[in-house]
Amino acid sequence: MFCPKCHGKFEHVQTPLGVIDRCQSCGGLWFDVLEHTDLKAIAKSIDTGDKELGELYNEERDIQCPVCVNTNMLNMVDSSQTHIQFESCPSCHGRFYDAGEFADFAKLSISDVLKRFGILKKKS
């Protein structure tokens, strides 16, 4: 499988939660449908790419799904963190996050959960 952004090769990275795909050149991450929710817990250890390079590739938004043939991916914006722009395939629902984006995405989501349960509420 080849990276939809830089056309580098994805490598399989073994994690405690299964194997993930990470681009060897730009550090972008590919997630099959719903994998991104399972892998949030270990986001920091898998999103090891160069954040600045990720920001450069974030500009590249006209890409095709690396899994489906001739399918343009949709440009998405994370609803709770609008600075995070990722691509999603309308056919297989896979997602692509540029380097640095997934760790960022996971960070706020965890604090959101804590907030929901009142853990981060200010003590009066």
The per-residue b/e assignment along 54-90, b for 16 or more CB within 10 angstroms, e otherwise, is beebbeeeebebbeeeeeebeeeebeeeeebbbbbbe
Interaction pattern, residues 52-91, with Zn ion; x per rule: CB under 5 A? -------------x-xx--------------------x-x
> Tokens 């270990």 identify what position?
42
Stretch of 8-16, 47-55, 80-88, 109-117 contacting Zn ion, by CB under 5 A: 8-16
Binding site for Zn ion (CB under 5 A): 3, 5-6, 8, 23, 25-26, 28, 65, 67-68, 89, 91-92
